[in-house]
Amino acid sequence: MENSIIVIFGASGDLTRRKLILSLCRLFASNLLPEDFAIIGASRSIYTNESFREHLSGAITEESETVRNAWKAFSGHISYQTVDTSDSGNFSELKERIATLAKSHNCGGNVIYYLATPPSLYGIIPEHLKAAGMNDESDGFKRLLVEKPFGYDLASARQLDTRIHRSFDEKQIYRIDHYLGKETVQNLLVFRFANTLFEPIWNRRYIDHVEITGCEFIGVEKRGGYYDDAGAVRDMLQNHLLQVLSMMAMEPPSKINASFMRDETVKVMQCFRPLSAEDLRENLVLGQYTESTVRGEKLPAYRDEPGVDPQSRTETFVALRMFIDNWRWSGIPFYLRTGKRLPTRATEIVLYLKKTPHPFFAGYASENKIVIRIQPDEGILINFGLKTPGAGFETTEVGMDFHYKNLSSGNVLDAYERLLLDAFKGDATLFARSDAVETCWEFIQPVLDYKRAEGSLYGYAAGTWGPLEAINLLKRDGREWRTPCRNLTSEQYCEL
């Protein structure tokens, strides 16, 4: 791993303080960063190097002792540069700062630019970098990390893609979807392809249907203004859930590298069955939470949240029944749901196996399923039926499970740690490629058009599992959603 400089635009923001700097400090404490490096915070706010470090240090207090002890040495690599991103002239000063630090930290021309800024700047900053010659790779790599959302719809995503590509080549662009950085998502590939126990049944012959759930107990908190323009479809379905679905459903790559693996996920996306007018009416459920009292706490309706239009028709819940029209998955329904103010926080994939064909045991056997928990309590659970002690052949459902928290050794990186480390290494495997982003927007665009035409929006009480119509989406097929917890004693954590 080569020595590098990372420039974080939007450095005075919450993402930098709560996620990026903490993740970089943890990597440093684990000796996973390059031998030498420099971090430059860049934004319009006025800081000195010292005051910027002090601003960041407050987020370290709740970290482990190892990370807290590493902070002093780590913070010595941090400096600050005031940059008005609307003025290209500011970038010449940033370029000089980079050149100075490159010499003192022996980084050559290796620079990573992280856009932790509002999406409105995603097209502007690369243009200023190009104008200042800061995209030139003749003296070392230049990588551009872009946070979601990558576009607002299909047209804007294409426009943004074209605009960024005028300044940076595709191989330089790393589009972040932090769900892909989660350990369990990555482990999908090993779980499937390294185990002959599972890969032979990972297809339409043995799988009855698949559920993917991404639920949160929290509401929109202080993001009402942003969320009211985005909604659950843009915020979660278009990127996180479709990316996870594609990794779960992909074919085995011929080589384990970024190009081959991303080729396979895009192939899955290209096989998403287009959503027809009938699908939008019958297989899509959009919901919005209403006020409720949960465990003694009065929760406001979405329309009463700060920054939200009192007449808003923005969805906070979406459920979708969809299909993948390829050889492996033909005819198998995929049920996706995501929402805010649901009973708990959990993200998981559930594969339901077909029932036994034996006429006797078919009436007794428990439902076989594989549960892959992405967050929290990351792990894998396999449910199957065994004979209940006593006479007869009554069965009971039992489970075998694995939890990452029970590993006695090994450092499980969180999503941003994993993605930042991969950016330093130049490994783009877990970053979204241009064609993947566009293909997902093409699939989702009919849903956005349906929303714009004021399609049906259903209410659901905060703290429940969404609108009744979402339950009926499976019920009419003789199925029901899995409740993703063994207990609901905490909205922040539920056991696999």
CB contact at 8 A, 114 and 8: yes
Which residues, 6 or more positions from 136, have their beta carbon under 8 angstroms from its beta carbon? 109, 142
Q: How many CA atoms lie within 13 A of 73 on its CB side?
A: 14
Which residues, 6 or more positions from 418, have their beta carbon under 8 angstroms from its beta carbon? 181, 182, 183, 186, 430
Assess whether the previous peptide bond of 376 is cis (omega < 30° from 0): yes
Pick the closest to residue 77 from 53, 99, 55, 54 (CA basis).
Answer: 53
CB contact at 8 A, 216 and 302: no
DSSP category for residue 52: H
Instruction: Characterize the bridge pairing of strands 37-43 and 78-82.
Output: parallel
Sign of CA dihedral 156, 159, 162, 163: negative
Which residues, 6 or more positions from 302, have their beta carbon under 8 angstroms from its beta carbon? 219, 220, 288, 289, 290, 308, 312, 314, 316, 340, 341
Total residues found in the chain within this entry: 496
Q: Is 209 among the catalytic positions?
A: no
CB contact at 8 A, 245 and 211: no
Q: Taking each helix axis from N to C terminus, what angle separates 258-270 and 242-249, rounded to the nearest 10 degrees?
A: 110
Residue with tokens 């993001």: 223
Report how far apart, in Å, the C-alpha atoms of 298 and of each of 199, 206, 223, 291, 292 are. 47, 45, 19, 7, 6
Catalytic annotation, pick one of 128, 178, 240, 358: 240
Catalytic residue positions, numbered: 240
